[in-house]
Structures are given as C-alpha cells and as structure tokens.
Structure 1
Amino acid sequence: MEFNLTDHPHRRYNPLTGDYVLVSPHRTKRPWQGQVEKSEEEKRPEYDPDCYLCPGNERAGGEINPNYQNTFVFTNDFAALNQESPSGTYEVGGLLRARSETGICRVVCFSPRHDLTIPELSVSDIEKVIKLWQDEYRILGANPDINYVQIFENKGKMMGCSNPHPHGQIWAQSTVPNEPATEGKFQGDYYQRNRRSLLADYLKIEMKERERIVVENDHFVALVPFWAVWPYETMIISKRHIQHILQFNDEEKTAYAEILQQLTIRYDNLFETSFPYSAGIHQAPTDGLDHTEWHFHHHFYPPLLRSATVKKFMVGYEMLGDPQRDITAEMAAEKLRSLPDVHYKNEATKI
C-alpha cells in the first residue's frame, strides 16, 4: 500500500511550536457509541438586569457600568494580574523556582446587547471591536512594564465562560507567555534561515492546495491548519506580512471584521448552536524590539466534535503522549466550507 493522509495513521508537525499531533483518519469509519445529548437553545434578552456586563448595571466589584452604546472596556474587578504585586523571586535547589509577575487585565464588552455574539453582530459593529483591540494594544503596549498583550475570548459555558454577555479579555503582562514565546522562537528561527515569514510561506502552500481553506477575502485567509488538534480548529492569517494589529490599513480592518463574522457564522451553523470556543490573537510582543519575524494570526480552538453537546476530551494518551484526532484537517475544512454564510437564526426567520 502507498501511504496517504486520508486512510492511514500519521503524525503531523506544527512548525509554529515544534509539536506533533497523531491523526487517525481510519477511526472515522467506526460506529459512534459515545456520549449523545440533546441541544437546548438558550434564549437571552437584549438586556438582563442581573448581568454585571450590561449597560447601567452594577459590576461584581461595586462599580456601575456606563450606559454604553457600542463597545466598553474596563479593568477586571478580579484580575489574575495586577500592577501592585511586589517584585521578588523564590528558589530552592535550582528546581523550585518562581518569580513575581505584574500585569493588567481588561474586560472587553463587544456590544451593549446581552443576546448577541460575534457572528450575530454587523461587520461595522465588529470593526468597532477591532478598533478597541487596537487602542488597548497601543495603550497597554506603551507601558514600559508590559512586554506582551494577549487578546482573547472564551465563548460559552463549555469553555468556562462565567457570563454569556458577549465579551472578551485582554491580559497584558511583563513576560511573554509560553505559547507566543514558543511561536516567536520558531518564527524567528525560520526568518533567520530564510529571510521570509514562516506563515507567509505556509499560506502560499495552503492557497495552492486549497484543501484546508474555509473562507478568504482580499486580505485574510481562515483555514484549518494542517497540524490542527481540535476537531474544528481554525486560524485566520493576514495575507500581508504584518507584525501586529496596529499595522492594519482601513481595508484590512474591514476585511478582518468580515472574515471574523463569516468564520464564526459557519461555526454556529455547523451544529446550529452558539458555538463555544477559546480564541485569541498572536502578534508581536510590545517590548520595543522590531520583531520582523512575527506574522499576525488569530487562533480558534473549539471543543465540539459531533453535535452541539458532544465534545472532544483530552484524556489518556493525549495527556501522556501526543494530542490525537480522527477527523482530518481536510475533512473539517470541507465541512465548514460547505456551510451557509447566513446565520441559521436568520434563515429560520426567513422561513
């Protein structure tokens, strides 16, 4: 037999991190005997008087939200990082080591509407979210004590989100966290060897093969990465080699909003549910260095596997060996690509 990616078990390499994922496509042929649950569609009001993120309401820390009309950002009342932590270290025998960490944690409300998520917002409203991300990256990154600004969103109870109001977070800290630090190293090594962006070269391959692309426009591509771990994991990559969100021109900002909307609509349409995920932007550190090696991209890590409630668990071999998946990146991309670009709730309204 001749090896092929469709039928035979194999390991795929992630050039951004140096990690591998075990892919077992032949297992998709086995009958499913796992957990099956019914989906319950949650209906939320436009305004919830008990929501601490809705306009005009009191937050958990006692502050009162303004009656905001678009986006709203504030410092987290119960932040994981703060600027007041004293500096210091702890070290025993060279094996037990700790160092104090300072930072700023911000909460970003995408909309005053309690019942809307990113795929249900208009492109112009998503642009306002992007503008806020740009402002926060600029302001926080200008702080001499901040060397990395991590913009991210946890969507849905399945991802541990404690409030359904559409919002994300920004954690800015003195140290570059593990994941972007690793990606920065591998992008830097590649750039030193080739004098080109790793993700720009990767994108050329993807645009030639076109097997894993979900949606694209003139400035961005959303695809299932060749090395994806989660069943319907995706990544948005800028076609232009830019290092961070402040380098967007006006056309790119609109195109970014459009592709965020189109990708997340397909997510919701997949199982006709508000699709849970953890997502975040990886971009250049804010340590004052040039970082030509960095290429802007946006990760989406959704857990759902077979329905609105059946998710993939990282257990057993995956905790002790490598991540593993049965659905290939190509199968996942084909499924997402084939979905309508109109949100299923709007389709139901038309009927």
Structure 2
Amino acid sequence: MNILPEEHRNEPHRRFDPLRGEWVLVSPHRGKRPWLGQKESPAPNDRPEYDPKCYLCPGNTRAEGAKNPKYDSTFVFQNDFSALLKETDDTVKSASDTPLFRSESVRGECRVICFSPRHDLTLPQMEVSEIRHVVDVWAEQTQELLQKYRWVQVFENKGATMGCSNPHPHGQIWASSSLPNGPAAEDRNQKAFFEQYGRTLLSVYLEKELELQERVVTENADWAVLVPFWAVWPFETLLLPKFDAQRILDLTDAQRNSLAAILKEFLGIYDRLFETSFPYSMGWHGAPGPLGEVQDTAHWTLHAHFYPPLLRSATVKKFMVGYEMLGEPQRDITAEQAAERLRALK
C-alpha cells in the first residue's frame, strides 16, 4: 500500500511529525540545485591509538587538572565544564507579576562517557562486545540518575561538523530536574495518542513502517532502523524496539546484544554513504523520572534519534537557517529516497 500521493513524490508538500507536533516542508524538486557555499573538511583517518595531548585518553591530565585512570574499557566522569550544577536550589522561581518574564532554577549533572580507551576508534569500528558494554553503561547511568532527576539525556555528538571538541570516541549524559522542550513535546503527544487509541504511538507507527518497508533501513529480531516519514535532516534515522520498553534500563540481556549489533551495522552504513566517518548528533529518549515516584508513563516507547547533517557529500552539509529558523524545517531529498540510498549499502 502506498500512503504517499504520487504528486508528493516530486512536488513540494508538508509532512507532520506526530512526536513533536510539528510540520516539515519537503521540496524534492530542489535536489539538483548548484552548491557554491561552505564545504566541510572530512574527518582524518590517521588518528593514533593513543594521543598524549588528548584529555580523554587513559592516563592523561584533563583541562581542569584531574588525571584519567588508565582505563581499558568504557570510562565515565563528571564533566569538567558542566552546563548544570547539583547544588542549585531548583525551587526558586521568578517573582515577576507578569508572565512575560518567567524564570526558574534547575539543578542537574553532566557526565562524559569515553566509549573506548583507543583514540582512533568510533562506535561502528568497535567490536559488538565493546558496543554492548557502552549500552550497559548507558543503562546503568540512566538508572542511577533517574533516581533523583526528571530527565536523563544520553547523547553523542560525533565529528567536528557537529561541534565535537575532541575526536576521542565519547558521548555525554545530562540529567536535569526539569523536562526539556523536546522530550516534553514527545511526552505530551504520545500521551494524547495513547489516551485516544489505547496503544503507544511509536509501536503503531513501527507496525505500519515494517508493513510498508519503504523507509526501513535495516532490522533484526528486536530492533528496526528507519528514516522517519517526517525526517528533517537529510539522512535522519529513528531506532525503535520491536518490543514494549519505556527506558533503556528495561532491556534484557538478549535485547542489549541485538542493540549493540544493529548499532554497529547501521552506523557502518552511515560511514559508507559518503566514504567518510559520518558525523551526527544522536540521543536516547525514554520515559521521564524520577524512578520510585508514581508516574503516568504507559504511553512511552524507548527510541533513539540520529541527526546527521551531511547532504550531498562528505563536504556538503545541510544548514538550518533562514526560512527554517523563521518558518519551519525544510528538506530536499525525501525520506523514501534517503532510506533507499542507505539500504543499498547494507
């Protein structure tokens, strides 16, 4: 069954994102426009296994003076330049008598996760067993921090194109007492769908995508990777479980193994697309906390977003500017075209 009108495959149209409650403009006819703008420098492939100047390598001293242990697996530490502080009194709110000047305090923690002691690796270059250990650390950190915080954001910025300040393979975890805008919108929209239909939004969506197969990139027994119908970034993907799970800490041993396997597979597909170490920002979204409190979270489905910026080659990226900042997001290549290109690299 074809759910997209034929006219929308080659002509301008809008697509709705039910998770965020927002629209995206799709302009497939613009794919051949010339490009004379900024070009990125591809990531070098000749990094050493150990860099004595890297503040994330084992045994090295970080910028604030702390020394890393000589770790031989995944290593987690408090971010030396945290955006959130544990000691903040988050009960303080603005005393303004007008709704136009609202503020509130927020407390939290920021941590860094070094995926590997090796400076020269990225996630898809690691062994499945090593990626599995990263998955375990994601789950352990989420479980610990959700005991006391409303939201725990596990994420990775890969590559200088995405603002990554150090090429050593690493990600971050920010935990906060407040629910950020993006997850709050997802919480609101998933809840509304669940109340209306009695099923979770993303489980229903995945069923339909697996039936259609048009936007599915790859899948295994437990997981599916697809380019969402409403994708904004050129080769954006959504990683979804084929089973009920609200948080990453809910995963069984077997589900963690299959997650590690599909991460290695599809991140390798990304690298082969433009024959470069593919930059992206990724992150996990799951039911908010704190754990132990009575929460209405039955509407949640665990999922991960991957937002890569590259558009045409290893040197040309998409810029979110102009109309997209002032109006709404816009993309040239359709989600179906993007999925087809990624699928061909399996």
| TM-score for the superposition, normalised by structure 2 | 0.94
- Deviation, structure 1 residue 229: 0.3
Q: Give the Cα separation in 1 of the matches to 2:313 and 2:188.
A: 37
> 2:207 matched to 1:204?
yes
Q: Give the Cα separation in 2 of the matches to 1:80 and 1:158.
A: 21
Aligned residues of 1:89 and 1:100 also touching (Cα < 8 A): yes
> 2:229 matched to 1:223?
no
SS in 2 for 1:99: coil
Deviates more, 1:302-311 or 1:79-88: 79-88
Q: Which residue of 2 aligns with 1:98?
A: 103
Q: Give the Cα separation in 1 of the matches to 2:40 and 2:203.
A: 41
Q: Which residue of 2 aligns with 1:310?
A: 316
Q: Which amino acid aligns with 1:331?
A: Q
- Deviation, structure 1 residue 89: 2.2
Q: Which residue of 1 aligns with 2:11?
A: 8
SS in 1 for 2:143: helix
Q: Which residue of 1 aligns with 2:131?
A: 126
Aligned pairs, number: 337
> 2:153 matched to 1:147?
no
Q: Which residue of 2 aligns with 1:338?
A: 344
User: Which of 272, 277, 299 lines up with 2:275 in the alignment?
Assistant: 272
SS in 1 for 2:283: strand
Change (3 A) 1:153 1:37: closer
> 2:72 matched to 1:72?
no
- Deviation, structure 1 residue 301: 0.5
Please provide the CA RMSD for this pair: 1.5
- Deviation, structure 1 residue 5: 2.5
Q: Which residue of 1 aligns with 2:143?
A: 138
Q: Which residue of 2 aligns with 1:48?
A: 51
Deviations 1:268-309 (A, max 9, x none): 111111111100000011123141110010000010011111
Aligned residues of 2:40 and 2:161 also touching (Cα < 8 A): no
Q: Give the Cα separation in 2 of the matches to 1:61 and 1:14.
A: 42
- Deviation, structure 1 residue 37: 6.2
Q: Give the Cα separation in 2 of the matches to 1:10 and 1:103.
A: 41
- Deviation, structure 1 residue 40: 5.9
Q: Give the Cα separation in 2 of the matches to 1:70 and 1:240.
A: 29
Q: Give the Cα separation in 1 of the matches to 2:57 and 2:12.
A: 49
User: Which of 112, 120, 129 lines up with 2:117 in the alignment?
Assistant: 112
Q: Which residue of 1 aligns with 2:169?
A: 166
Aligned residues of 1:148 and 1:174 also touching (Cα < 8 A): yes
- Deviation, structure 1 residue 35: 4.8
Change (3 A) 1:96 1:308: same
- Deviation, structure 1 residue 114: 0.4
Aligned residues of 2:284 and 2:305 also touching (Cα < 8 A): yes
Q: Which amino acid aligns with 1:197?
A: T
SS in 1 for 2:278: coil
User: Which of 255, 260, 268 lines up with 2:258 in the alignment?
Assistant: 255
| Structure 2 unaligned spans of 5+ | none
| Structure 1 unaligned spans of 5+ | 341-351
Deviations 1:88-128 (A, max 9, x none): 22243321111111001110000000000001011100000
Aligned residues of 2:43 and 2:277 also touching (Cα < 8 A): no
Deviations 1:54-79 (A, max 9, x none): 11111112111111111000111110
Q: Give the Cα separation in 2 of the matches to 1:166 and 1:16.
A: 30
Q: Give the Cα separation in 2 of the matches to 1:6 and 1:321.
A: 22
Deviations 1:175-207 (A, max 9, x none): 111111110110001111111010010011101
- Deviation, structure 1 residue 3: 4.7
- Deviation, structure 1 residue 36: 5.2
Deviates more, 1:41-50 or 1:16-25: 41-50
Aligned residues of 1:225 and 1:235 also touching (Cα < 8 A): yes
Aligned residues of 1:197 and 1:241 also touching (Cα < 8 A): no
Q: Which amino acid aligns with 2:115?
A: F
Deviations 1:131-185 (A, max 9, x none): 0011101111112xx1111100001111111111000000011011111111011
Q: Give the Cα separation in 2 of the matches to 1:26 and 1:187.
A: 33
Change (3 A) 1:334 1:155: same
Taking only the aligned residue pairs, the percentage that are identical comes to 55
